[in-house]
Structure 1
Amino acid sequence: MSDLVTPGAGVFVDTGYLIALEDGDDGNHSPAREHREGLREMPSLTTTSYIVDEVVTFFNVRGQHGKAVELGEALLSSPSVRMVHVGEGLLGRALDLLRRRPDKRYSLTDCVSFVVM
């Protein structure tokens, strides 16, 4: 898959949203579930391989190995999830954004997400 992103390729979902959907203890769990259930049509979701890494790691390091693997596999296999794999081109653009914004404390994953959005 190309690491060039097509505008309008679905609703972008980030780490916080995916964790809130799956973690009943998350402070945003109810609003995230209500948001997802309130959508009239289930749009395709767009995320990145870096986001999947963060979500899987979040659950795994908290002792929820089964949930981590299950969620990772679900995101990778779902036909409604468009996965943007972070290649050299996208990574370079994200690093360029990070370089240009020394006033922000963005993570590299944040910068990848901004470029994709």
Structure 2
Amino acid sequence: MSNETKVQASSGDMHITISGKSEIFGGVDLSLEAAKTIIEGLDFKFAQDKDYDFPQKAHIQIVDALGSSIKSLGFDPRDQPNIIVVQQFLNWFIDEAKLHEAPEYRRLLDKDENDDFEFDFELK
């Protein structure tokens, strides 16, 4: 059963509000879809005018945040840099557990379609 949910987050001067239908109490599914939508929609053409390496710097920050998230789940080794944790998680996921071959995970990978999420960005 889907419930209308609102998720809010902030960091410094940035405030994010996500609203929509959620299947999970707390809206983590809604937050995940929003994060994926924002990441997939990143456009670096103007940022590269200022810093040619900006796309690589942006993507490595996303990878670093993923490593931090994976660590919070208790995935070892927690004392490693976030980027190494991501590498080890992917090695485990692909080479050891082979979860990318399981139907319930395979349908999550390489999706190009977005759900009915729309974001309006307002530049001030």
Instruction: Give TM-score scaled by structure 2 length.
Output: 0.26
**Higher-RCO chain (CA-CA 8 Å, sequence separation at least 6):** 1
Which structure has greater strand proportion?
A: 2
| Larger Rg, first or second structure (1 or 2) | 2
Q: TM-score, normalised by structure 1?
A: 0.27
